[in-house]
Amino acid sequence: MQRIRFLVAIGVALLSPVVAEAQHPPHRHAVHVEALGPALLGSVNYEYRLLDHASLRAGVGYLPQMLENHARVLSPLLANAILGRGTHRLELGAGAVLVYLPRHTRAAQEGIDGRAHWGEVEWTGTAAYRYEHPRSGAIYRLGLTPLLRGEEFYPLFALSAGLGF
């Protein structure tokens, strides 16, 4: 009888974290830092969980002038489906990247309009592995984030880490 109680106690101790994780609802808000991705060098992002399996994401990143003709502020906006249960998930999404061109300092030399303005819209998507820790709120993502800029296609990838709350 002692052995049965001991085995039941060990079984409950081993299974209780699994049961607790399955019952914990996902965090509704998250902030994460992304390296590379649709903002090219990186971005800081806010994510709002609409449902357990759907989210909206908005971010902002900066691309300095040394890498492009003009400095750019890039703002990815995506709608995502988060598939699976537990801590390991698949994230699929699509959206746009809004491009803001700050005031161009060398405009007079190049004979162009140097005023700040919104530039073209670029299109992006995501297919990523997503790890979510239910208790601590830690979120890690690794995936593909292709970018369509005009007629040019860039097969990019991204790595991000953040915290849900």
Instruction: Report, in angstroms and rounded to the nearest whole number, the Rg of the chain calculated over CA atoms.
Output: 21
Distance CA 80, CA 53 (A): 8
- Domain ranges in the chain? 26-164
Whether the pLDDT of residue 84 is over 90: the answer is yes
Give CA–CA dist 159/162, Å, rounded. 10
pLDDT for 108 equals: 46
Read off the tokens for 92.
């699929």
CA distance 78 to 125: 8
Answer whether residue 9 shows pLDDT above 80: no
Instruction: Report pLDDT for 18.
Output: 47
| Mean pLDDT within 83-107 | 86
pLDDT at 20: 45
Task: Calculate what percentage of the chain has a pLDDT beyond 90.
Answer: 59
pLDDT digits (tens, 9 = 90+) for 42-59: 999 999 999 989 999 999
Q: Are 57 and 78 in contact (CB under 8 A)?
A: yes
User: Which of 2.40.160.20, 1.10.540.10, 2.170.260.10, 3.40.50.2300 is the CATH number of 26-164?
Assistant: 2.40.160.20
Amino acid letter at 13?
A
Report yes or no: 55 and 74 within 8 Å, Cβ to Cβ.
Answer: no
**69 has pLDDT over 80:** no
Confidence class for position 119, pLDDT limits 50, 70, 90: confident
